[in-house]
Amino acid sequence: MEIEEIQLQDLNAETFIEEQVKAIAETVGDGLAVNALSGGVDSAVVTLLGHRALGDRLKTYFIENGLMREGEPRHVVDVFAGLGVKVEIVDARDKFFAALAGVTDPEEKRDKGITEVFYKDVFGKLVLDCGAKVLLQGTNYTDVEETVAGVKRQHNILEQLGIDTEQAYGYKVVEPIIRLRKPAVRVVGKALGLPEEIFARPPFPGPALATRVIGEVTPDRIALVRAATTIVEAELADSGAFQYMAILHEDKVTGLRGDKRDFGHQIEVRCWESEDAVTAAPTELPFELLRKIADRLTTEVPGVVSVTYNVTAKPPSCIEAV
Ligand code: XMP
């Protein structure tokens, strides 16, 4: 791989910020750039770098793909309004669900269901409409590494797979944090003045809850995993873990509700200890806490009759299920 990592111990956040702001300003010249803010630390850092470099000439969008966590679009817009950055919400829910309909293969979901819609349909149009020539994006070093190694098709990897974005989508992609892994991105986020709630946030994947639905992604199945996610995140917020999540399985299982058979859904809970997501181990959660999560999921999320906890490490597991 040609890109050289900047290791955490070698990172000078202030110098890094200065260099990246300068590079963005030079690349964009006196034109416009766009970027998508998802609320995760990577895109948040890129938004602030771009804002410092370009001010109002950076147009920041939150793409409402219908796959986000409860209340996320509004919350992210509010946090950035507090930082002086205007973020526009683009409703693209129908486009994503239409592309995801009937797709069950994990890589096809990522490729056709997310990447194509995001870059071609949604951003292609936004960029064309506002006349920007550059898309700023928060690809990090681990994203590149995993995609190039063939682990999985990260939604934001393009050039490293030989995709010429200017030819394919009509704009250039600039990736200011591509040499950093997550811990280094957090340090830069703090130095940029992001609130702790954002720079210390557990990672959340670009394809969002679609990576946590095994089988077809439909609005109903996303609503189910979203409700489960709210519960799991609330119960594990104080766990200190690297990342935690709820996954909706494709198979249904026989359960019992009242005195009647209930053929219902299975939710898998995952909670990870990790430094940089390259390897990870399951957190040894107290059994009482797991029981509490299971009780809440089976009583508060309609149709859930079974809850499991993943005890596999990465590898061979991955952090996300899709
Ligand atoms: P996996 O599932 O590969 O995840 O063990 C490693 C880390 O990357 C996140 N992840 C993604 N992040 N776009 C992203 O921005 C993606 O397509 C994507 N897929 C996985 C995952 O949440 C974990 O932190």
206 touches ligand 1 (CB under 6 Å)? yes
Distance CA 140, CA 175 (A): 8
**Closest C-alpha among 195, 170, 168, 201 to residue 183:** 201
Question: So what's the pLDDT on residue 1?
Answer: 52
Residue nearest to atom 12 of ligand 1 (CA): 205
CB under 8 Å to 20, separation ≥6 — which residues?
49, 53, 176, 177
Contact (CB, 8 A) for 135 and 127: yes
**Closest C-alpha among 246, 243, 264 to residue 255:** 264
User: What separation in Å is there between the alpha carbon of 320 and the centre of ligand 1?
Assistant: 7
Token pair 């998802």: residue: 38
Averaged in consecutive runs of 10 residues, what is the pLDDT profile of the chain (322 residues)? 89 98 97 94 97 97 96 96 97 97 96 92 88 93 84 77 84 95 96 96 92 98 98 97 98 95 98 93 98 98 98 97 96
pTM (predicted TM-score): 0.90
Question: So what's the pLDDT on residue 156?
Answer: 81
Contact (CB, 8 A) for 319 and 270: yes
Residue nearest to atom 11 of ligand 1 (CA): 205
- Residue 173, CB half-sphere, CA atoms under 13 Å: how many? 24
Question: So what's the pLDDT on residue 127?
Answer: 86
User: What separation in Å is there between the alpha carbon of 143 and the centre of ligand 1?
Assistant: 7
Distance CA 10, CA 105 (A): 40
Question: So what's the pLDDT on residue 97?
Answer: 98
Residue nearest to atom 22 of ligand 1 (CA): 205
Q: Give the count of beta carbons closer than 10 Å to the beta carbon of residue 124.
A: 18
* Six token digits for residue 105: 């293969």
